[in-house]
Amino acid sequence: MDFGQLKSKRRTLSSAFNVNPEIKKSVNLDGVNGFHSFYKMPPSGSITLQQFEYYALERLKVLKAIELNNVLKGKKFKEYCDEMRDEFRNLGWQFLCTDRLSKEDEEKDLVSHHILRLAYAKSEGKRQWFITQETELLKLRMMFSNSLLNRLLEVNQLSSNQVPAEEINELTDELRGCQTGFNMANAVYYKVDFEEVLQLVSSRKVYLSQGYAYLPASELQSFVLNKYKIHLKEQLAMACKLMPGLEEENRIMRQLKALSGGDLGTGYTTKAVGDKITCDMLDQLSLRSYPLCMQTLHNHIKVKHHAKHEGRMQYGLFLKGMGVSLEESLKYWRTQFCKGGIDTEKFDKTYAYNVRHNYGKEGKRADYSPFSCLKIISSSEPKGDECHGCPYKHSDELSLRHLLEKRKISAEATEEILGLKRQGHYQVACMSLFKATHPKEGLHGGLQHPNQYFEESQTILSGNSETSDSKMTADSSEKETAGKSNDNKENIQDIEDEFDDEM
């Protein structure tokens, strides 16, 4: 494919690659010493379709590796870095760990980034996934390279905002309160608009005065990452807007679509709704096959006959994911809420809409997917007497212990789970519960989704693993790619699979 040609033929593609003409003027095409600062430049020149696909696939493997390791992260940071360094080397991307990039590496880096940017522009979920992994990649590259951070700071012209020593002196108490290990002697601070360091603002790790954040030199990295995130977000939003103009270029669109596959963040598609599961079966099912988060919600509703909005979303979509029909769902919620003193009329007026909305029958009629573990862990935490969320993350130890006691697992398993909770390995903790409550081995290839937990549990408990109708991407990929990929590591097999149906 010829990028140059495409550019003249369809201006949209080039503008999708880089939508801001001003940036084009201000940044040197050669980038900063071999590293394209924030990939502001769109690539130009020609590559073959094979190369297009190859580059993109390769980078996707890198990003997938990052995602996988990030989820299981929790080792010492150094170990994590070492592991990632090995990982990149195995994938043939060792240049990510160096300062100097060859011409070829540089092209690979730049082109693959921009192709994926297009591929992942389509939906909010995909954009989020892409941004998360790319940001983590830049973070790792800054760890590996000694000079990268400084070069990026130069580009961002930060040195002019350094806080004078006298001012730091006066603010000693304030600054100390924001930072562990604050040391007057070598305190260097930069004054930046609070909007430039949102992460530090939300975690209260920075001193704020009159809208300015006092950014410690030690946080410069996070500053750069935040800027990068914002930059990507803008660029992806723009690319998304320009995508319709690309639709005619069929070959490319097909590939781009295939590249991003299903929503990688969820990795789960709702099963065809059947009438297999009725709401009077839920009590029984919840005892052994529900992950702890859903069991907690189920029991909460059973006792209180009510749940707040977030809880209704989390559990309601899970039920949908299990294959509970809309009618059964409505019946379940109505029965429960009516026991709690809400009459049928009020239920139909206030809550039924929500249930139908979840099934895509109201509003913009979107077919909402059940929440993945990642979403449950990272999105809005419960407050007050709410009990949605992930019990491994959102419960204190004592409450979690009580919850586990009801599952009647061994003391050993309980301690193991509590230990994992303490270290922040929430999904691994959940897998341990699965292991402790099921015969046979644990879950296939990690736990990403409550519905995956449920389905695998059902498969094992019914003793019928062959006819599993689980639709986890990870699962199906194992079956389908078995014959094809011989040199790929397990953790990236699913990437290949996502290509199969489309190309």
Partner 1 sequence: MAPAVEVSNSWDSSLMPELLPIYYKKLFPFTQYFKWLRYKESGPNYFKNREFSFTLKDDIYLRYRSYADQAEMEKDIRSKCPYKIDIGAVYTCSPKLRDMVRAGEFVAQYKELVFDIDMTDYDDVRSCCSGADICLSCWPLMTIAIKIIHRALTEDFGFKHLLWVYSGRRGVHCWVCDEKARKLSAAARAAVAEYLSLVKGGANMKKKVILKYNQLHVSIRKALEIISDYFDDYFVNRQDLLSTEEQFQTLKGLITDEQVLALIKELEDTDGFGETSKLRWACLKGIFCKRMSSEGSVCTSAPLHEMPHNMKEIMLQYTYPRLDVNVSKGVNHLLKSPFCIHPKTGRVCVPIDINHVDTFDPFKVPTLHDLTEQLAVWKGEGNLLDYKKTSLKPYIESFEKFLTTLSKHNTESDNIVMDTTA
- The reply to whether 319 sits near partner 1 by the rule CB under 8 A is no
Q: Under rule CB under 8 A, which residues in 214-253 are in contact with partner 1? A: 230, 241
Q: In whole angstroms, what is the distance from residue 479 CA to residue 103 CA? A: 39
Least distance to partner 1 from the beta carbon of 309, Å? 9
In the chain, the amino acid numbered 468 is S
Choosing from 4, 177, 274, 363, the residue that interacts with partner 1 (CB under 8 A) is 177
- Candidates 92, 90, 68; CA nearest to 80 is 68
Q: In whole angstroms, what is the distance from residue 29 CA to residue 36 CA? A: 8
373 annotated to bind ligand: yes
Rg of the Cα trace of the chain?
Answer: 25
- The reply to whether 204 sits near partner 1 by the rule CB under 8 A is yes
- Candidates 37, 40, 36, 86; CA nearest to 66 is 86
Choosing from 389, 477, 481, 493, the residue that interacts with partner 1 (CB under 8 A) is 389
Q: Which residues pair with 162 in a beta bridge?
A: 190
Least distance to partner 1 from the beta carbon of 390, Å? 10
- The kind and range of the H/E element at 82 are helix 77-90
Q: What's the token pair of residue 95? A: 């240049």
Give one DSSP letter per residue of 312-329, joined into a string: HHHHHHHHHHHT--HHHH
Choosing from 167, 283, 343, 385, the residue that interacts with partner 1 (CB under 8 A) is 385
Contact, 410 vs 436, CB < 8 A? Answer: yes
Nearer to partner 1, 112 or 295 (CB): 295
Nearer to partner 1, 95 or 347 (CB): 347
Least distance to partner 1 from the beta carbon of 376, Å? 13
414: left (phi over 0), alpha (psi -120 to 50) or beta: alpha
387 annotated to bind ligand: no
Nearer to partner 1, 60 or 374 (CB): 374
- The reply to whether 203 sits near partner 1 by the rule CB under 8 A is yes
- The reply to whether 406 sits near partner 1 by the rule CB under 8 A is no
Q: What's the token pair of residue 464? A: 């019928």
81 annotated to bind ligand: no
Q: What are the CB-based long-range contacts (under 8 Å, 24+) for 421-425?
A: 421/392, 421/393, 421/397, 422/397, 423/74, 424/74, 424/393, 425/72, 425/74
Nearer to partner 1, 231 or 438 (CB): 231
97 annotated to bind ligand: no
- The reply to whether 194 sits near partner 1 by the rule CB under 8 A is yes
Q: In whole angstroms, what is the distance from residue 309 CA to residue 307 CA? A: 7
Choosing from 111, 121, 178, 215, the residue that interacts with partner 1 (CB under 8 A) is 178
- The reply to whether 386 sits near partner 1 by the rule CB under 8 A is yes
Q: What number of other Cβ atoms are within 10 A of residue 465's Cβ?
A: 12
Choosing from 403, 447, 474, 492, the residue that interacts with partner 1 (CB under 8 A) is 403
Q: What's the token pair of residue 379? A: 């999105």
Least distance to partner 1 from the beta carbon of 247, Å? 15
Q: Which residue has the tokens 């059973």?
A: 302
Nearer to partner 1, 396 or 466 (CB): 396
Going residue by residue from 252 to 291, which x/- string records binding to partner 1, judged by CB under 8 A? ----------------------------------------
Nearer to partner 1, 180 or 186 (CB): 180
Contact, 132 vs 178, CB < 8 A? Answer: no
Least distance to partner 1 from the beta carbon of 25, Å? 24
Interface residues toward partner 1, by CB under 8 A: 173-174, 176-180, 194-195, 198-199, 201-204, 207-212, 230, 241, 296, 300, 349, 380-389, 391, 394-396, 398-400, 403
Summarize the annotated binding site for [4Fe-4S] cluster as residue ranges: 293, 373, 390, 430
